[in-house]
Amino acid sequence: MEIQNILTIVLVVLGIAFILVGSVGIIRLPDFFTRTHAVSKSDTLGVIFVISGLVIYEGFTLSSLKLVLIILFIALANPVGSHALAKAAIKKGLKAKLQDDIEEEKAS
């Protein structure tokens, strides 16, 4: 197996792992804002790793240049979209769930 194929597999698996962690974050985190934060970070990084693996697999071609442009677009658009969602939620009146662990420990 060539180093190119090994690196491709490593990047794709790493990207899938980040996306999986973000999916678990949707289920485990308490409110909209923490879910949005976790998913936007992990999905952005996961997709960048997967597409980077495809760029390495493809080699230096026009297709790989297009994939690099897609990476740049995702790196810019995903955080902006997440910020817009959070801002719209704030305008709609959605409140973050705050939890004070220190006060709970003092009480017990």
Average pLDDT over residues 91-101: 79
The number of C-alpha atoms within 13 Å of 51 and in the hemisphere containing its C-beta is: 19
The Cα–Cα gap between 38 and 22 comes to 6
| Residue 78 scores a pLDDT above 90 | yes
Q: Which structure tokens are listed for 6?
A: 């090994």
The Cα–Cα gap between 69 and 77 comes to 12
DSSP state of 93: T
CB 8 within 8 A of CB 52: no
Q: Report DSSP letters for 21-88, one per residue.
A: HHHHHHHHSSSHHHHHHHHHHHHHHHHHHHHHHHHHHH-SSHHHHHHHHHHHHHHHHHHHHHHHHHHH
Instruction: For the chain, give every domain's residue range.
Output: 3-107
Average pLDDT over residues 50-68: 95
| pTM, full prediction | 0.82
Report the pLDDT value the prediction gives residue 108, as an integer from 0 to 100: 63
